[in-house]
Structures are given as structure tokens and as C-alpha cells.
Chain A
Amino acid sequence: MKRTLHALSPAVGILVALVAWWGVSRMVPDLPSPWRTWEESKIYILKPLEKRGEMDQGIGLLAYYSLLRVARGFLLGILIGTPLGFVLGVSKGLARMLDPVIQIMRPISPLAWLPLGLILFRKSEPAALFAIAVCSMWPTVINTMAGVRAIPQDYWNVAKVLRLSRFTTFTKVVVPATLPYIFTGYRLSLGIAWLVIVASEMLTGTPGVGGFLWQEYNSLIYAHILLAIVTIGIVGFALDRLMGMAEARLRTI
């Protein structure tokens, strides 16, 4: 009995959320109820890969566009962020020098970066990638840096005693010792990248879950906004779980 309750409790949580949604939709006339949302969105869900127009596409396709964009931006972010983290972890002087810059750039919203990206690149797609990369790289930078700093003196001693070359020390000692930290950074970065995608698609109007959301809002089809919101949540959750699994697998220590 207790065990069934234990297994059912997440379902109960979702049910409570749906009831709350329904309750609010009774009070706010513009907000579609869960049932109406389903009725008006099921074509997107049941035919997730159907393309009917630029924005009028199955939710699977829209999520795919967004994921592709996130993957590119995130990759760019960690390609810059990981080496930067290593350098800052090793060099205290450089870390001290760049610390104010990082601390100032970190809290800047993607909505603020995007116009700057548009000025720099003149096109919406690279501007979106720029915003994703520049917003999502900081957890990777900071975690990698912390990971390098947290390497126990023992391991540095091993490198010294065995007279390992700089390259060997890096590949055989520093990277494996830092890997768990790096992956925690990647996981956090990916979370942020997914947050940024919606904002950047909304501003640039490119096809994707966020672009779809904004367009449907402008077309006054509110049920589709809720569809987009739920999709964003579910995809974000799945991404986090996947990264968590990768993190657990690559645990070296």
C-alpha cells in the first residue's frame, strides 16, 4: 500500500497542477483549460513531424529546430568556456584579472545580449547562437576553474614526482581530475542554453518552440502558448536527465 502510494505520488503532483491550471482558467476567461488546450493542440502532438507552413509545424519538428539551435550555441559556449576555465584554474593572476568581467557578464539576460548579437552579426541566426553561447558558458567556465583548483595536492605531487611533461600532466592528471566538475558545468550550461533559446527565438522570430509561442500569442491562439510552454518544460527536463546520466557515466573518481 505504502509502496503504491510512493510510486503514484508524482502522478498525483501532476494532477494537482492540472487542477490548479483548470481552476485558474475558470477565473481568467482568456486562459484555456487543460482540456481545451489539448483539443486545440492535439494536431501538433499527434502529428509531431508534419510541416504545414513555416511556423505551422508539428511540435516534434519545432522542438527539433530549437534543439539544433541550442546544440550549436551550447557547443560554441563550451568550446570557449572549457579551455577558459582550465586557464583560469591554473593561473591565479589571470583569474583575478578576469573575475570582475565574468561576474559582470554572468547576470546579463539573453534579452540584452540578443540586440548586441544582431548589431555584431546582422543576421538573426548567428545572433541567437551568440546569445546562447555567451549566456550559457559561465557555469562551464566557473565549474572547470573550480575543478582545477580542487585538484588535491597529492595529484600535483604525483605529476612532479614522476616528472610528467606538461602535456601528460594535463591529459593524465588535470583532465580526469576535473571531469566531474566539467560535466556539472555542462549540465548547468545546457539548462541555461535551453532557457535562452525561447527568448532568442521570440525576438528573432525564427521557427522553433519559442518562435511558435510568440507567433501564436500574436495570433491570439492562447492554447498553443500553453502547448509550447509544456513542451519547453518537458524537453528541458529530458535534457537535464540526459546530462545527468552522462555525468554519472563519466564519473572518474
Chain B
Amino acid sequence: MAFIEVAGVSKTFVSASGAREVLRNVTLSVERGEFVAIVGAMGSGKTTLLNLLAGLMPPDRGSVAVDGRAVEGVRHDAAIVFQNYSLLPWFSALENVRLAVAAACPSQSKAEQRARAVDALERVGLGNALQRRPGQLSGGMRQRVAIARAFAIEPDLLFLDEPFGALDALTRDTLQQELTRLCGSVGRPVTTVMITNNVEEAIVLADRIVPLSRGPRATLGASIPVTLPRPRSAAALLRDPAALRVRSTIIEALTEGAVSRVRLKRDSTDGPATVRLRPDATYDTAMVRLKPDPTSVAGVS
């Protein structure tokens, strides 16, 4: 039995405007120590799925079990990093991390808790920003605090909800490397589930990528293993043929049904062609569908 077992999970949200089934019959298993990335477009129900996994909300049907036990609420050995950092703005970076440590290890003395929080912040390079409040930190630094808070409790389970979604590409790249390093430095397997809409990010970080079809009624597709050697850098992967193959497989899986099939009718071979995409289609989906001559889409906007 896998470490995380999700079996036949469905979730429907009922609002004034009616019921909306976000997830239908989702099944997933994650081995201990594995890093799984769930990739899907915006609004596909990714966050809902992660919230179910993490125990922030219960499923309507189906079951979520970790280590053989049904998930009821957030586990004490689980940490979650959210896209919007979720730091308490009235506390300093240190106090934010200390709050987590104090809640996770109430038996430790105040000094021990503080030392642990300081250590966690130093490990993400924030040793000189301990007393700063989130409002005085950049987006990248805030997410570092959130990551430090997650690792400070030495979790067995790590849930990442679009952790770098709000960051610029450079910061994102650095933090991805740091995350890989942190996961390796814990000394025992950390089982990680990350959700993201960024295919490159998933390839850089994950052992296995699971595409989530478009919501409503999203389901998981067949998983795609990523066997590329580590450490991986986003820049190098752009040139790696194996990585590109993984990338196009994922995008193929994701765009299933996302784009109406179009046939390009062009009067001349080199004139401009107009393709209308559904509003939720991404640049990636456009790229794939305009194959097999990707060089011709240089001007896609």
C-alpha cells in the first residue's frame, strides 16, 4: 500500500448559483519519499485536490488515507506551503516560524523552539531578516519564510500549493533549487505533493507528474515519470531532448479537450493565419496544437 492513497474522490461545491462538481472520481497513490507534481490549468480543481489531500476539507465521496489511516484534519507531520505565502502580517519572520514550531513541538523549551526557527530561516538564507515583517519582505523572501516554516517542523509530508506561482522567473528558479536542496537535507524521505500550472517547474522538481484534466469534473490522467538526473535546472531542461519529450507529453495530456480542433486555412504558405482559442487556452496549448511546424508559431500572441 502506498503512503498516500486517494481512492475515488469526488468533491462538489454548492453555492447560490448551483452545485459545481469540481473533482470526479480522482484516484492517486504516492509512494513514501516520492515527489509528485499535479499539473493542471487554472480553475481545474488543483487546489481543491490538495486541500483534500492535506485534510483541510473532507471529500464528498471516496477516501484519502496517509500511511494506512484515513485523513481527518491536518496531520501533525504535514506542512503546507501556499501560493500567497499565508504569513501572518503582524508577526516578524521569526515569530511566524516560531508559531509553527511552538504548535508542532510544545514539549520543547522556548529557547529550543527559537533556535529551531532561527535555524530554519538561516537555511533559506534569511538569517539577517529575522525581525522583519512580511510587509517589509519581497515576494521571494516571503515565500522563503513560508518554506522555512514548513521545514522547521521537519515534516514527513509536504504539500505545495503553487508555491512559486506569484514569483518572477529568476526567483522561481533559485527557490526551486533551494527546495530540492532542503528536501535532500532532511535526512529521511519527505513525501511531497505539489500542484502547479507550470509544466517546467513540475519537470524540474518532480519524480512523477500527474496531469489533471480541466474542471469542472476534473480527473487525473495517466502519470508521467520524470527520470532525468538531478539536480535539474530549468535552463538546462529547455535544451534536453528527454525533458522536451516529457513536456510535450504533459501538454498533450493537459490540452485534451481544451482547444477546439482547428484546421488552418491559409491562402498562401507564408501569410498570417488567425486561430481563435478558448479563453482558458494557454500559450502552451497553442504551441502544441500548432505543431507539427512549431517554428511557424513564433509570432503567436
Contact = CB atoms under 8 A, between A and B. Distances in A.
A-B pairs with lowest CB-CB distance, top 9: A252-B90, A176-B90, A154-B86, A162-B103, A161-B80, A162-B100, A158-B86, A253-B89, A164-B103
Contacts of A158: 86-88
B30 interface: no
A208 B243 CA distance: 83
Contacts of B54: 161
A164 B99 contact: yes
A163 B88 contact: no
B104 A157 contact: no
21 contacts: A155-B86, A157-B56, A158-B88, A160-B56, A160-B73, A160-B74, A161-B54, A161-B56, A161-B78, A161-B79, A162-B100, A163-B76, A163-B103, A164-B99, A164-B103, A165-B103, A168-B99, A168-B103, A173-B88, A176-B88, A177-B90
B86 A157 contact: yes
A252 B89 contact: yes
B3 interface: no
B88 A155 contact: yes
B84 interface: yes
Contacts of A162: 99-100, 103-104
A155 B99 CA distance: 13
Contacts of A161: 54, 56, 74, 78-80, 86
Contacts of A172: 88, 91, 99
B254 to A, nearest CB: 27
Nearest to B83: A154
A165 B103 CA distance: 8
Interface in B37-77: 54, 56, 73-74, 76
Contacts of B82: 154, 157
A47 B85 CA distance: 60
Interface of A: 154-155, 157-158, 160-165, 168, 172-173, 176-177, 252-253
Contacts of B80: 157, 161
Interface residues of B, number: 20
A147 B189 CA distance: 42
A113 to B, nearest CB: 37
A10 to B, nearest CB: 34
A163 to B, nearest CB: 5
A212 to B, nearest CB: 44
A127 B122 CA distance: 60
Nearest to A165: B103
B34 to A, nearest CB: 21
Contacts of A168: 99, 103
Most B C-beta atoms less than 10 A away, residue of A155, A161, A168, A253: A161
A253 B89 CA distance: 6
Contacts of A176: 88, 90
A157 B73 CA distance: 11
A82 B84 CA distance: 30
Nearest to A172: B99
Nearest to B89: A253
A117 B42 CA distance: 60
A191 to B, nearest CB: 27
Contacts of B88: 155, 158, 172-173, 176
A218 B88 CA distance: 58
Contacts of A155: 86, 88
A163 B90 contact: no
Contacts of A160: 56, 73-74
A173 B54 CA distance: 21
Given A157-B56, A172-B99, A163 B86 contact: no
A173 B74 CA distance: 18
Contact of A253 (B56, B84, B90, B99): B90
A168 B91 CA distance: 14
Contacts of A157: 56, 80, 82, 86
A253 B134 CA distance: 10
B142 to A, nearest CB: 12
Given A157-B82, A160-B56, A163-B73, 7 more contacts: A155-B86, A162-B99, A162-B104, A172-B91, A176-B88, A252-B90, A253-B89
A177 B90 CA distance: 8
Contacts of A165: 103
A5 B54 CA distance: 63
A42 to B, nearest CB: 49
